């Protein structure tokens, strides 16, 4: 059955060109118009979807062609279309930038896989006719580029009409408007990209101003008309997994506060589809794990910015250490893994005690380490995978560990580079790699099954 799914993809020639700011402004403008709007993000990023979700009041989802195949990505888009008027997909990096130096899993690849028209946000600072050369290059670089329009960012209102006429005459690509320089609407940077939505002062006021400016300077009606040209999707929507058979739903404690906030929305949904009840808690503020839980999920985030508060919450540290020691099934990714160490160095250089389930220290390094997609292959049977089984994953961190684990072998795609990583036992996965559970539903099922068995054995 074909599903109507008006949609556009917002891309850019490179990171830092303003596509997240433009995407959030467009989302807010559409919501203010009363449009039921879905948001998606290409790639493995956690932070941009947080901004999307803050704007639209619903979970944004990731569309990642390394983590999952084209059919699953189409299913996710179809699922978003089921209850929304329009879908806005934000690209990743440069439009054609994918794995290594290929275009695989790029924003362009997503546009092709989902048959979505793309609009590029072009930075107009410091040039004029050269903008047309860039637009022409991106539109013609691939046959079937999907580039259907551009928006000019950081250009003056006085110059814009001439630039629009120039670009359209030279390239045949439609210009859908512009954004002037809006310093007070920018989203600040941090070592992992943007700050999270909850940390941006006056975010709602910034979004209101941005959307109001865009109503004046961007052809939003034209963008909606472009979105409506996207063909219907013939993919079925989200496939719900069969719940794990158990006497009662296992309750999984999910760390969620300013220190731990990196989760894929569809991974949490998958755990729920499998029959788990997710219970949020705060390692920063709560005294102990929630009552009656039989599993623990410690996602990534910024524990290094809260090292003192985490350390001073001794009762929570003891509660988590006791749960892991007792065999409670636990998944800890990146920031969650750092928190499980005996010691964690904070962003200010202070090193303080943490949970202690992993011996050693997680410490700050001067540069980004082991960045990008990886496949991790289990070297022994464990909670999420048996020996020889692989999981798609992603790493992006400035911190490292003097005890990173060796239960998995990590290998970068399209590369010979590999290394050992992570801890794995029948009840624990803990390591720097972030996992995308919908890409390997069997791993999520093993986690929920382990939680159910632990609950039944208590």
Catalytic residue among 24, 334, 421, 451: 334
Distance (Å, rounded) from C-alpha 307 to C-alpha 270? 31
| Tokens 């107009």, located at residue | 124
Cα 256 from chain centre: 15
Question: Dmax of the chain from CA atoms?
Answer: 73
Identify whether 334 is a catalytic site residue: yes
Q: How many other CB atoms sit within 10 Å of the CB of residue 32?
A: 13
Sort strands 61-63 and 86-90 into parallel, antiparallel or unpaired.
unpaired
Helices and strands in the chain, H and E counts:
13, 24
The number of CA neighbours under 13 Å toward the Cβ of 219 is 15
DSSP 8-state secondary structure symbol assigned to residue 275 = T
Cα–Cα distances in angstroms (integers) from residue 151 to residues 22, 48, 165, 188, 220, in the given order: 9, 20, 13, 22, 11
Distance (Å, rounded) from C-alpha 339 to C-alpha 46? 19
Distance (Å, rounded) from C-alpha 308 to C-alpha 169? 59
Sort strands 330-333 and 300-301 into parallel, antiparallel or unpaired.
unpaired
DSSP string, 169-185: HHH-PEEEEEE---GGG
The secondary structure of 50-68, three-state, reads HHHHHHHCCCCEEECCCCC
Strand partners, 93: none
Distance (Å, rounded) from C-alpha 292 to C-alpha 247? 14
User: What are the CB-based long-range contacts (under 8 Å, 24+) for 377-380?
Assistant: 377/408, 377/409, 377/411, 378/407, 378/408, 378/424, 379/406, 379/407, 379/408, 379/409, 379/420, 380/407, 380/424
Cα 246 from chain centre: 31
CB neighbour list of residue 205: distance below 8 Å, 6 or more residues apart: none
> Which residues are part of the catalytic machinery?
334
């Amino acid at each position: 059955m074909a599903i109507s799914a008006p949609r556009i993809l917002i891309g850019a020639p490179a990171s830092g060109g303003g596509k997240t700011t433009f995407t959030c402004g467009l989302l807010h403008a559409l919501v203010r118009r009363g449009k039921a709007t879905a948001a998606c993000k290409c790639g493995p990023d956690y932070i941009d979807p947080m901004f999307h979700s803050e704007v639209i009041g619903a979970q944004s989802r990731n569309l990642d062609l390394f983590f999952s195949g084209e059919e699953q990505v189409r299913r996710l888009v179809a699922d978003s279309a089921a209850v929304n008027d329009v879908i806005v997909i934000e690209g990743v990096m440069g439009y054609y930038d994918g794995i290594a130096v290929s275009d695989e899993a790029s924003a362009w690849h997503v546009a092709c896989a989902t048959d979505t028209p793309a609009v590029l946000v072009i930075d107009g600072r410091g040039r004029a006719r050269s903008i047309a050369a860039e637009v022409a290059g991106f539109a013609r670089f691939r046959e079937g580029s999907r580039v259907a329009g551009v928006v000019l960012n950081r250009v003056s209102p006085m110059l814009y009409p001439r630039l629009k006429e120039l670009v359209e005459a030279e390239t045949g690509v439609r210009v859908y408007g512009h954004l002037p320089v809006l310093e007070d609407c920018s989203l600040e940077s941090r070592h992992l990209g943007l700050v999270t939505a909850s940390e941006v002062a006056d975010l709602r006021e910034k979004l209101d101003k941005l959307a109001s400016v865009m109503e004046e300077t961007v052809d939003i009606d034209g963008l909606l008309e472009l979105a409506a040209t996207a063909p219907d999707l013939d993919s079925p929507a989200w496939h719900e997994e069969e719940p794990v058979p158990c006497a009662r739903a296992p309750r999984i404690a999910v760390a969620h506060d300013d220190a731990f906030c990196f989760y894929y929305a569809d991974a949490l949904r998958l755990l729920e589809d499998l029959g788990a009840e997710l219970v949020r808690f705060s390692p920063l503020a709560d005294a102990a794990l929630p009552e009656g839980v039989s599993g623990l999920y410690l996602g990534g985030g910024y524990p290094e910015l809260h090292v003192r508060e985490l350390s001073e919450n001794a009762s929570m540290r003891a509660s988590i250490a006791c749960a892991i020691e007792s065999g409670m099934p636990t998944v800890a990714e990146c920031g969650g893994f750092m928190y499980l160490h005996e010691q964690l160095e904070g962003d200010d250089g202070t090193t303080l005690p943490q949970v202690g389930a992993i011996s050693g220290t997680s410490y700050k390094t001067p540069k980004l380490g082991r960045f990008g997609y990886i496949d991790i292959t289990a070297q022994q049977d464990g909670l999420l995978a048996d020996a020889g089984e692989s999981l798609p994953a992603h790493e992006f961190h400035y911190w490292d560990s003097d005890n990173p684990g060796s239960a998995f072998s990590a290998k970068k795609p399209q590369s010979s580079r590999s290394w050992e990583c992570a801890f794995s036992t029948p009840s624990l996965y803990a390591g720097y790699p972030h996992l995308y559970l919908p890409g390997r539903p069997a791993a999520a099922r093993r986690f929920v099954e382990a939680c159910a068995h632990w609950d039944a054995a208590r």
